[in-house]
Amino acid sequence: MAVIPESAPAPARGRRWIYVVAALLCVGAIAFLLLGGLRGNIVYFRTVSEAVQENDTGRLRLAGEVVPGSISETDDGVTFEVTDGNETVAVVHRGDPPDLFAEGAPVVAEGEWDDGFAAFQSDRILINHGNEYSPPDVSSEDPSAEHPS
Amino acid sequence: MSLAREVWLVAGKDLRVEARSRVTLNQVLPFGAVVLLLFAFALDPDRGLLSEVAPGLFWVAVLLAAVLAVSRSFAVEAEHGAIDGLRLSGLDGASVFLGKTLAIAVQLLLLELVLGIGVVVFYDTAVRSVAVLVLAGVAATVGIAATGTLFGVLAAGLRTRETLVPLLLLPIVAPVMLGATRAFEAGLDGVPSEAWPWVQLLALFAVLYLGVGVLAFGSLLEDA
Amino acid sequence: MSDAGFVVAGYVITAVVLIAYIGWMAARFRRVRRGLTEEELERWR
Amino acid sequence: MISLARPAVNALGLLTLVALFVLAVLALGVVPPDAVQGDAQRLMYVHVPAAWLAYLAFFVTAVSSALYLWPRTRQPGWDLLAGSSAEIGVIFTGLTLVLGSLWGRPVWGAWWVWDARLVTTAVLFFLYLGYLALRRVPADPDVRARRAAIAALIAFVDVPIVHFSVNWWRTLHQEATVFNPDLDAQIEGSMAWTLLFAVVAFTLAYGYLMARRVQLARLEEGREERELDAAIAARVASGSERTDLEDRVPGEGTGKGNIGDPAVAGAGEHR
């Protein structure tokens, strides 16, 4: 390993093994990291299905597509439905949604379930746009195909 | 001398110095307690917020205290040219690193024990699975101690080491902060299965930096 | 702010950062080359 | 203005200037806006190359640091290269964060979110800020270089984590467009070419900035050494007993110190 300069004190009688072990541990740890050993630990949001399944109380982020035709404005925000293809949930949002909020848009709603898990009470909506880019006239296909999971 | 004996020699020396000077007991520990107290002032204790965020607050307090413990560990060496003695002792760089790491880890574990009791009592936190807390706590502490020792010697002998150590150390231990907090949340809630991946992350971090420390410490000590 | 506003802000910031960095290097170049004495350096600071 | 710059460096600078100008015209005027994001997507043509440049700069820092640590390739030049590159990397990491924030506000609806990509990038910024701080602390040049090199290698671990964070973990930040896990870029042709051109233009900018920064570092180093020699000579002449200069070699802040004046340099600084 390059990190042992020549001028380091010579390891005591046959003590080199500790450096070899340390180097192997480092390489192993980095390899484990690069091979994705920690994949899936850190989750910024839950899909609709996961959120329905877990039924957690407390704040969470819920991701899905806005169901076309489900958006209706209320006095202090909007209500709409989100789906991940399997489950569909009603969301009651207070406050102005962001500019790109629209039918079919991939959204992340932040908030918590109301009593009885009937609807999701959201107070912050983020747009979870994908990594696909195209000019307006080339494609009018569903912009929300991207759902990292 | 075997490696274990050398490690024990260095760790024993540091712990004896601590036992006599009582800096950790008289200054670092009260500092951690004051940090916990300040969190209680800053966050309204009536609304159950404190018990909810207790794991995060606990680890912030531990990290801040760890910065002090690391500075202390190398301030001891700076006095009366003790570090020259360490260099000339013929001990392996790896032994010195592991010994100092062990001494810091032991002190931090004691500190965590006391602060943990403080959190349970004052933040009204329920503890459900102690085993998870102990496992995550030990893994996180070894990681913090190893990085702390590594950056401690990196900044040793520099005029600005008091400010440099936190700047170098705190970003590096961000994953520990994240993992330990999540693992503790799971441990307090009594769902060990959720804690396991985080304990894994903590162990990985500890192994990585123990390895880096063993490799690099010798040459850094030589220059310190 | 409109979308265009964000875009313009972003490009302007990029340009300013690049120019500022090059300018800062140029200023240091000049100081080094002139070989200022310590007193002058102190005053400059 | 700066006569020290060699013609090649100046030519590179001119080329960079032209490339960046062409990039601005392409990105702001020629390329169509995105179907979903509209004009806001134009920020991609600076945000992505800025991030690329930061990766590149930190990679160069890591390689130069390793070369410095390796006894057979130990040259002060590697240390200068590592430090210069890290400085540029930090600037562009900061720029990436700012540009990302400006892009996130209209598109996500938030200036900042705490997802894995953003957090690891912020950590990267602070890691190398710490590295630069470590470099500025006065110490013996070789000792300082070795310390900095080890710190640089430790910090570099975060770079792959930043890059792969969007694939490993579920983030609000989108996955890489071109180098995604399946290597099937979902980006329309003219946009892809503009992005590629942007990366090339920023890489040219990196080359120019590095050339200038390394030149500057060399000059300052040379002056430091001259001043150090003068200070030692003055100290020896004055018969001072203190000879270990180790901890008070030049350099406050910008790398220059008060060493020119022996009285100042000798003013006892105890560790």
Model pLDDT for residues A32-77, shown as the tens digit of each residue: 877 766 665 667 888 888 888 877 777 888 888 888 888 888 888 8
Chain D residue with Cα closest to B172: D127
**Chain D residues in contact with A2 (beta carbon < 8 A):** 66, 69-70
Asked if residue A31 has pLDDT above 70, the reply is yes
The C-alpha of C4 sits at a distance from chain D's nearest C-alpha, in angstroms, of: 6
Q: Kindly report the length of chain C.
A: 45
Query: Which residue of D70, D168, D174 is in closest CB contact with A2?
Result: D70
Number of domains in chain A: 2
Do both A28 and A60 map to the same domain? Answer: no
Nearest to A136 among D32, D115, D176 (CB): D32
> Hey, are the CB atoms on A19 and B94 less than 8 Å from each other?
yes
pLDDT of A148 reads: 37
Asked if A132's CB is within 8 angstroms of D172's CB, the reply is no
Question: Which residue does chain D place closest to A133, by CA atoms?
Answer: D187
Instruction: Compute the nearest-CA separation of A36 from chain B (Å).
Output: 11
D53 — contact with chain C (CB < 8 Å)? no
- Does residue A146 lie within any of the structural domains? no
Q: Which amino acid is at B25?
A: L
Q: Is the pLDDT of residue A146 over 50?
A: no
Answer whether residue C45 shows pLDDT above 50.
no
A95: left (phi over 0), alpha (psi -120 to 50) or beta: left
D130 to B167: CB separation less than 8 angstroms, yes or no = yes
Residue A147 has pLDDT above 50, yes or no: no
Establish whether chain B is in contact with chain D, requiring a minimum of 3 CB pairs below 8 angstroms.
Answer: yes
A50 and A117 in a single domain? The answer is yes
Chains near B with 3+ CB pairs less than 8 A apart are A, D
Interface check B90 vs A, CB under 8 A: yes
ipTM over 0.85: no
**H or E segment to which residue D1 belongs:** none
Q: Evaluate whether residue A117 is within a structural domain.
A: yes
- Please check whether residue A1 lies inside any domain of the structure: yes
CB contact under 8 A, B208 and D157: yes
Q: B200: pLDDT confidence band, cut at 50, 70 and 90?
A: confident
Helix (H) or strand (E) holding A37: none
- Is pLDDT of B59 > 90? yes
Q: So what's the pLDDT on residue A86?
A: 84
- Say if A93 falls within a structural domain: yes
Closest partner residue to B154 (CB to CB) among D119, D129, D150 is D150
A20 interfacial to chain D (CB closer than 8 Å):
no
User: Do the chains contact at B200 and A37, CB–CB below 8 Å?
Assistant: yes
Q: Is the distance from CB of B50 to CB of B139 less than 8 angstroms? A: no
Average pLDDT over every residue of A65-92: 86
For residue B160, pLDDT over 90 is answered with: no
A63 and A21 part of one domain: no
Residue A133 maps to a domain:
no
Residue D200 distance to chain B (closest CA, Å)? 31
Assess whether A65 and A111 both reside in one domain.
yes
Token pair 């769902």 in the structure block, residue:
B191
pLDDT for B41-52, tens place per residue? 888 766 677 888
B112 confidence band (pLDDT: 50, 70, 90): very high
pLDDT tens for chain D, 271 residues long, are 333 457 888 889 999 999 999 999 998 988 888 888 888 889 999 999 999 999 999 999 999 999 998 888 888 889 999 999 999 999 999 999 999 999 988 888 889 888 888 988 999 999 999 999 999 888 888 888 988 999 999 899 888 888 888 877 778 888 777 766 666 667 777 888 899 999 999 999 999 999 999 988 888 877 777 777 888 888 888 765 554 544 444 444 444 444 444 444 434 344 3
CB atoms within 10 A of CB A55: 8
| Cα C36 to Cα A146: distance, rounded to the nearest angstrom | 59
Residue of C nearest to D261 (CA): C38
In a domain, A75, yes or no: yes
Residues A28 and A51 in one domain: no
Q: What pLDDT is recorded for position B146?
A: 95
Contact A87, A52 (CB under 8 A): yes
A34 shares a domain with A50: no
Q: B23, B72 in Cβ contact below 8 A? A: yes
Residues A63 and A120 in one domain: yes
Our CA-based measurement puts residue B62 at a distance from the nearest CA of chain D, in whole angstroms, of 19
Q: What is the pLDDT of residue C10?
A: 94
Both A17 and A56 in a single domain? no
Gap from D133 CA to chain B (nearest CA, Å): 7
pLDDT per position as a tens digit, C10-25: 999 999 999 999 999 9
Is the pLDDT score of A145 beyond 50? no
Q: Are residues A20 and A74 in the same domain?
A: no
The pLDDT score that the predictor gives to residue B63 is: 93
Q: What angle do CA A103, D110, A149 make, to 5 degrees?
A: 60
Q: What's the gap in Å between the CA of D56 and the closest CA on chain C?
A: 17
Closest CA to B180 of B135, B220, B125, B150: B135
Note down the domain range covering A115. Answer: 46-127
One domain, residues A78 and A53? yes
Q: Are D171 and D116 in contact (CB under 8 A)?
A: yes
Give the pair of three-digit tokens for residue C18.
Answer: 């690049």
pLDDT digits (tens, 9 = 90+) for D226-270: 777 888 888 888 765 554 544 444 444 444 444 444 444 434 344
CB-count burial class (<10 Å; 0-12, 13-18, 19+) for C22: middle
Strand A77-83 to strand A88-94: parallel, antiparallel, or no bridges (unpaired)?
A: antiparallel
